[in-house]
Structure 1
Amino acid sequence: MSLKENFARRAERMRASEIRELLKLLDQPDIISFAGGIPDPALFPTDAFAAAMSNAVSGDAGALQYSSSEGYAPLREWLAQHMTELGVPADADNIFITSGSQQALDYLGKLYLSAQDTALVTWPTYLGALGAFNAYEARFDQLNLTGNRGADDYVAGAEAAGGAVKFAYLSADFSNPTGETVDREGRLKLIEECDQMDCALIEDGAYQALRYDGEAVPPIQALEVAQKGNLEECRTIYCGSFSKTLSPGLRVGWVCARRDVIQKLVLIKQAGDLHSATLNQMAVYQVAENLFERHIPKLQKTYAARRDAMLAALARDMPAGVEWTRPEGGMFVWLTLPKGLDGKDLLAHAVEAHRVAFVPGGAFFADGSGSNTIRLSFSLPPEDVINEGVARLGAAMRDCIGRS
C-alpha cells in the first residue's frame, strides 16, 4: 500500500526549504556560512528570559495551562501600544498572537486563497512566504513597485487564470532577501493599487526594528491609517515577530489588523494549535516590557558593524561584474552575479573547494528565475569571519568565471 497515492493535490506543490537544508552546514565547523538569517545567540537576553520563565511558572499556574486563542492579554496590550508608537493606533482586539510570523503567513494564505487565486509578491521575495501561500494552490504574479504594471494588469492576469487577486505581500523594510527598503512613494502607490483591486495588503515587518542608518519610513499600515483615519477602515495586515529582536526559538509573532480579520484568524488557530505557548508569551511579555527599548540599540550597533564589514569586504574581494545591495538595516545583502554564472553551481564549488556557504537566489523567485543571484547574511559571523568568508567567496567566483 502506498499512502502517497491518497495525498491531496496540494501536496505536489510542497518543496523542501533550501535554507533549512543549508543550515545543516552550520554543524561543520570549517564552513563559514552566510546562509541563514540567524540572529547571533550571544545577543539573546538570556538572563532576562531565565528570570521571566521562572517568574511565570512560579507565580502563575496559568503559564502551564490552556489559554485563549487570541493570545496572552498583557502581551497583546503591550503590542497594541507598540503599534501605536509606530503610527498605528490599535488596541488589544486588533492584535493576534501567532507561533512566529511564519504561522501568520500560513494562516493568511488559508484565510484568503482558493485554488488559482493570485498572490502578488515581489521578484524576489521571502522564501517562507512562497512556501506558505503555495500550499493553498496560489498563483503568483510579480508585484512591480516601480514599473508600468499596475492594478488593471494584475486583475486581468488573475481573471484569465480563473481566480482573483486576493492580496499583495511584501517586506517593506530591509526585505528578505534583498535588504532593500520601499520608500514612502512606493508604499503609498501600493495602498492605492490595493484599494483599486479591493484586496488585502500583507506587510511583513520582521526586520522593521533593525534600522542602522538612513531616515525611517512609517509602516505601510501607519500610512494607510493616516489616510483613512482608523485601523478598522484599512486593508493592510501587519505581521510582526520577536524572532529577530528577542528570540527566534520561542516562536512568538503577532498580527495587527482590523477586528474582522483578527476574528477569522482566531477561528483558524482554534482549529490548528488552539493557542501559542502560554509560557513563551508570558516570558516574551516580561522581557519586552522590561528591556525591549534598551535591547534594540545593542542589536543595531552590532549588526551595523557586521553589515559595514561585509560591504567593505565585498568592495575589496568581489571580481568585476558583481553587483550588490547596500541595506540600511536588516540582515541581508543581495548579490547579482556576472551573466552566465549560476548561483547553485557557485554554491557547490564554494562549499567543496573554499568551505563557504550562502543561499542561491533562484529559491526566492516564484517563477524560478534569478539563477545568477545569491543572498548573503551578515547577522551571525563576527567581522573577522565575514572578511575571511567574503575572501573565500571571491576566490570561488574567480574559479567559476575562469571555467566559463
Structure 2
Amino acid sequence: MNWQDIFATRMDRMKASEIRELLKLLDQPDIISFAGGIPDPALFPTEAFQKALGNALSPKNQSTALQYSVSEGYGPLRDWIVGKMTEIGVPCTPENILITSGSQQALDYLGKLMLSPNDTALLGWPTYLGALGAFNAYEPNYDRLIPGGNRSAEDYAQTAKDNGGRVKFAYMSVDFANPTGETLDQTARENILDLADDLDIAVIEDAAYQALRFDGEPIPPVLALEVARKGSIDACRTLYCGSFSKSLAPGLRVGWICGAADVISRLVLMKQASDLHSSTLNQMAIAEVANTIFEDHTAKLRQTYTARRDAMLSALEAQMPDGVTWTKPEGGMFVWLTLPKHMDGGELLRQSLETQRVAFVPGQAFFADRSGKNTLRLSFSLADDAQIAEGITRLGAAIRAAL
C-alpha cells in the first residue's frame, strides 16, 4: 500500500523538528551543547512535586486526580492563573482561561481555530520554530511582521488576498523571544495592536519566558495594553499563551490560553474533541507547587540563568572574530548570533560537531522562508560557566576556520 497517496495534503507541510533531532546529541558526553532551549533539570523543584503528587494521590484526592475531568481545566489552577494574570494587568475570570497540554497545544488549537488553507499569518522573521510547526498543518501563507515598519494594513491585506486568503492573526513572542532573545518595547507592542485593529485580526501573544526577566524594567503584556485601551478582556482580540514549562517543569505539559470568553468557549469545544482535558493529576500538582513556591522558585531560576547569560556574553566578547554579532537578552534562555553573510550555519554545525564537538541550532530553521542561513541560536540554560567558556572558545575556533 502506498500510504503517501492517502495522506492529507497538510502532511507535506509537516517536517521533523531540527531542534528535537539535535536534542539527541545531549546523550553524547563529549558534546558541549548550546542547542536545546530547555530548563536545567538540576533546578526542577523535585521535592515540591513529590509532595504535591503525594497529596493529589491521597485517599481524599485520588478520585479527582485519576478521573475524567472538565475540559476547561482544574478549577484551583485556573484560579491561580486568574490571580497571576490580574497581577500583570489582565483582570479576568476563570471563564477566560483554558488549560492546555503545554503552550504548544495552545498554538496548535489557535492555528486550527483560525487558519484556512491559503490564509496568512503574520510572524517575526525569525520566529519560534514550534509555532511554524503548529501552524504549518493548516496550510497558511506567512508574511513578515515588522512592528512600526513601513508596511500599511492595506498592503498586508492585499498581499494576503493575492495569495488566496486573508490575514488571520499576528503571532509574536514579545519577551526574550525564542530564538533571538530580543524583547519588543512598549511602542512596538502598541503598534501591533494598531495594526491588528486596522486589519481586524487576532493577536497571539506567546509568553513562555515572561517569568525569566533578569534585568531591565518589565513591559506590560500586549493583552494588558489592550485591556487598558478597551476596558475589558472580553473586548480584546489578543490571546495570551502561558506555560509552566520554563518556570516549573516541562514534562508535566501544562500551559494555558487567556482571552475573551467567547473565544475560550470555542477552544473548549476543540479540547473536548482533541483530548477531552489535560492531565488532572498534573494540573493538581502544578496548582499546589505554584501556590506554594512559584515566586521563590522563579527567583532562583533568574539568579542562576542570569549568571549563565553573563558568562556567555563575556565569552562571546572574548572569543568571537570580527564580523560576528549577537544579541544581549534581558532574560530568557537564548543568544542569537549573526555570522558574516557568506557563511552557512548548517555547514558550520557540521564542521563544529566534527572538529570541536560543540552543538547549536542553525538559524535557518526559524525563518518561514528558510532564509537566515548566516545565523544561529545559542542556549545558555543547560551549561555551567566552565562549559560555556570552553564551548564558546571552541565555537570561535570553528567560525575562524570557516571564514
Structure 2 equivalent of residue 369 of structure 1: 371
CA–CA separation in structure 2 for the residues paired with 1:128 and 1:234: 25
CA–CA separation in structure 1 for the residues paired with 2:343 and 2:200: 41
Structure 1 equivalent of residue 81 of structure 2: 79
Q: What are the ranges of 5 or more consecutive residues in structure 2 without an aligned counterpart?
A: none
Determine whether 1:29 maps to 2:26. Answer: no
CA–CA separation in structure 1 for the residues paired with 2:164 and 2:340: 38
Task: State the shift of 1:204 in Å.
Answer: 0.1
Task: State the shift of 1:103 in Å.
Answer: 0.2
Structure 1 equivalent of residue 186 of structure 2: 184
Give deviations 1:322-348, integer Å, cap 9, x for gaps.
Answer: 000000000000000012110000000
1:152 to 147, 151, 154: 154
Determine whether 1:108 maps to 2:74. Answer: no
Structure 2 equivalent of residue 222 of structure 1: 224
3-state DSSP of counterpart to 2:304: helix
- Counterpart of 1:38, as a letter, is I
Structure 2 equivalent of residue 355 of structure 1: 357
Task: State the shift of 1:146 in Å.
Answer: 3.8
Asked if the contact 2:348/2:399 (under 8 Å) is kept, the reply is: yes
CA–CA separation in structure 2 for the residues paired with 1:146 and 1:332: 24
3-state DSSP of counterpart to 1:249: helix
Give the length in aligned residue pairs.
401
CA–CA separation in structure 1 for the residues paired with 2:81 and 2:197: 27
Determine whether 1:97 maps to 2:99. Answer: yes
Task: State the shift of 1:215 in Å.
Answer: 1.0
Task: State the shift of 1:147 in Å.
Answer: 2.2
CA–CA separation in structure 2 for the residues paired with 1:328 and 1:151: 31
CA–CA separation in structure 1 for the residues paired with 2:153 and 2:308: 39
3-state DSSP of counterpart to 1:264: helix
Structure 1 equivalent of residue 126 of structure 2: 124
Q: Under a length normalisation based on structure 2, what TM-score does the superposition of the two structures give?
A: 0.99
CA–CA separation in structure 2 for the residues paired with 1:347 and 1:267: 43
3-state DSSP of counterpart to 2:251: coil
Give deviations 1:143-167, integer Å, cap 9, x for gaps.
Answer: 0114211312111111111101000
Structure 1 equivalent of residue 18 of structure 2: 18
Determine whether 1:69 maps to 2:71. Answer: yes
Q: What are the ranges of 5 or more consecutive residues in structure 1 without an aligned counterpart?
A: none
Q: List aligned pairs for 1:199-214, cutoff 5 A.
A: 199-214=201-216
Structure 2 equivalent of residue 195 of structure 1: 197
Determine whether 1:175 maps to 2:177. Answer: yes
Give deviations 1:348-386, integer Å, cap 9, x for gaps.
Answer: 000111000000000000001000000000011111111
CA–CA separation in structure 1 for the residues paired with 2:316 and 2:360: 14
- Counterpart of 1:50, as a letter, is Q
Structure 1 equivalent of residue 54 of structure 2: 54
Asked if the contact 1:120/1:165 (under 8 Å) is kept, the reply is: yes
CA–CA separation in structure 2 for the residues paired with 1:42 and 1:393: 25
Structure 2 equivalent of residue 250 of structure 1: 252
CA–CA separation in structure 2 for the residues paired with 1:169 and 1:244: 20
Asked if the contact 2:95/2:261 (under 8 Å) is kept, the reply is: yes
Structure 2 equivalent of residue 268 of structure 1: 270
- Counterpart of 1:331, as a letter, is M
- Counterpart of 1:145, as a letter, is P
CA–CA separation in structure 1 for the residues paired with 2:208 and 2:45: 18
CA–CA separation in structure 2 for the residues paired with 1:165 and 1:94: 24
Structure 1 equivalent of residue 4 of structure 2: 4
Q: List aligned pairs for 1:376-395, cutoff 5 A.
A: 376-395=378-397
Structure 1 equivalent of residue 45 of structure 2: 45
Task: State the shift of 1:4 in Å.
Answer: 2.0
CA–CA separation in structure 2 for the residues paired with 1:152 and 1:45: 49
Q: Under a length normalisation based on structure 1, what TM-score does the superposition of the two structures give?
A: 0.99
CA–CA separation in structure 2 for the residues paired with 1:52 and 1:155: 50
Asked if the contact 2:148/2:191 (under 8 Å) is kept, the reply is: no
- Counterpart of 2:112, as a letter, is K
Question: What is the identity percentage for the equivalent residue pairs of Structure 1 and Structure 2?
Answer: 65
Asked if the contact 1:324/1:334 (under 8 Å) is kept, the reply is: yes
3-state DSSP of counterpart to 1:255: strand
Structure 1 equivalent of residue 330 of structure 2: 328
Task: State the shift of 1:231 in Å.
Answer: 0.4
Give deviations 1:147-204, integer Å, cap 9, x for gaps.
Answer: 2113121111111111010000000000000000000000001001100100000000
Give deviations 1:248-273, integer Å, cap 9, x for gaps.
Answer: 00000000000011001111111101
- Counterpart of 2:177, as a letter, is S
Structure 1 equivalent of residue 164 of structure 2: 162
CA–CA separation in structure 2 for the residues paired with 1:112 and 1:273: 19
3-state DSSP of counterpart to 1:115: coil
- Counterpart of 2:104, as a letter, is Q
Task: State the shift of 1:399 in Å.
Answer: 1.0
Which consecutive aligned stretches of 4+ in structure 1 deviate over 3 angstroms post-superposition? Answer: none
3-state DSSP of counterpart to 1:169: strand
CA–CA separation in structure 2 for the residues paired with 1:164 and 1:261: 19
3-state DSSP of counterpart to 2:239: strand
